[in-house]
């Protein structure tokens, strides 16, 4: 494990390294004072996921958040997509394994979810900053051993990794100006759902179809009968065959 000297030298922003916290996203929101900030924790007691889900966060996993002023965030509309690409590329570089992104931003190793990402916008004046900012939170399972039964079927782990090195790799990539076209291209190439039969809800209607891919805005294209649906948010489940 690289130590905190490594983080100080390589992270490029202030940080908090905590044993346990409710949620690194919550903590980053409370501590943000207008300049970039990172928060890491060995475990979370109230880890949060998308769509109001909780994120199981026992010791052994990797949990971190990066807060960035709105005006410094390159292509904020694509932050979620960019975060998925940055995490995926960092994991591939440091573990030598191949990963895929399940729309919107779960990272899969084979057919198992090993990482979830929650990007949130925080309007100015609601927290300690007059300016609006984004918090991008990443949770990675290194192993799914001992996970509750309801998570056992889907959750996986990436194996052992140097946490400090991974965090620096991801945050430095997030900070870097990158061509949005290139980001969406990689995102589409790494799509876990493309070609799969899925079910989803659109405008209150339960639907199913085959995923065609991802468009230039990072939206999911699904062929349902003769209709092409374009999903900009929500959840999609792979249909069991």
Binding site for ligand BTN (CB under 6 A): 23-25, 44, 47-50, 53, 55, 63, 65, 106, 116-118, 137-139
Strands 133-140 and 112-122: antiparallel
Of 102 and 175, the one with the shorter C-beta distance to ligand BTN is 102
Of 24 and 191, the one with the shorter C-beta distance to ligand BTN is 24
Of 51 and 205, the one with the shorter C-beta distance to ligand BTN is 51
Of 47 and 188, the one with the shorter C-beta distance to ligand BTN is 47
Q: Residue 30 CB, nearest distance to ligand BTN (Å)?
A: 13
Of 110 and 228, the one with the shorter C-beta distance to ligand BTN is 110
Q: Residue 106 CB, nearest distance to ligand BTN (Å)?
A: 6
Of 46 and 182, the one with the shorter C-beta distance to ligand BTN is 46
**Tokens 């409710």 -> residue:** 22
Q: Residue 128 CB, nearest distance to ligand BTN (Å)?
A: 18
3-state secondary structure the chain: CCCHHHHHHHCCCEEEEEEEECCHHHHHHHHCCCCCEEEEEEEECCCECHHHCECCCCECEEEEEEEEEHHHCCCHHHHHHHHHHHHHHHHHHHHCCCCEEECCCEEEECCEEEEEEEEEEECCCCCCCCCCEEEEEEEECCCCCCCCHHHHCCECCCCCCCHHHHHHHHHHHHHCCCCHHHHHHHHHHCECCCCCEEEEEECCEEEEEEEEEECCCCCEEEEECCEEEEECCCCEEECCC
Q: Residue 76 CB, nearest distance to ligand BTN (Å)?
A: 18
Q: Residue 227 CB, nearest distance to ligand BTN (Å)?
A: 28
Q: Residue 204 CB, nearest distance to ligand BTN (Å)?
A: 22
> Is 148 within 8 Å of 190 (Cβ atoms)?
no
Nearest residue to the partner ligand BTN, using Cβ: 116
> Is 123 within 8 Å of 112 (Cβ atoms)?
no
Q: Residue 104 CB, nearest distance to ligand BTN (Å)?
A: 9
Of 48 and 82, the one with the shorter C-beta distance to ligand BTN is 48
């Amino acid at each position: 494990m690289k130590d905190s000297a490594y983080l100080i030298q390589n992270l490029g922003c202030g940080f908090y390294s905590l044993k346990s916290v409710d949620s690194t996203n919550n903590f980053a929101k409370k501590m943000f004072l207008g300049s970039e900030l990172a928060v890491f924790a060995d475990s979370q007691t109230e880890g949060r996921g998308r769509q109001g889900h909780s994120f199981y966060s026992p010791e052994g996993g990797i949990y971190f958040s990066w807060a960035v002023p709105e005006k410094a965030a390159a292509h904020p509309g694509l932050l979620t997509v960019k975060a998925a690409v940055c995490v995926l590329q960092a994991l591939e570089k440091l573990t030598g394994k191949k990963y895929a992104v399940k729309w919107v931003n779960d990272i899969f190793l084979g057919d198992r979810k090993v990482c979830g990402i929650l990007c949130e916008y925080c309007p100015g004046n609601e927290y300690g900053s007059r300016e609006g900012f984004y918090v991008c939170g990443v949770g990675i399972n290194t192993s799914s051993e001992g996970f509750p039964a309801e998570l056992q079927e889907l959750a996986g782990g990436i194996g052992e990794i140097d946490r400090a090195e991974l965090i620096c790799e991801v945050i430095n990539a997030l900070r870097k100006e990158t061509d949005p076209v290139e980001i969406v291209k990689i995102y589409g190439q790494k799509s876990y759902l493309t070609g799969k039969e899925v079910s989803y809800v659109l405008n209150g209607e339960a639907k199913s179809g085959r995923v065609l891919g991802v468009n230039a805005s990072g939206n999911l294209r699904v062929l349902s009968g003769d209709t092409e649906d374009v999903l900009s948010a929500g959840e999609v489940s792979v249909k069991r065959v």
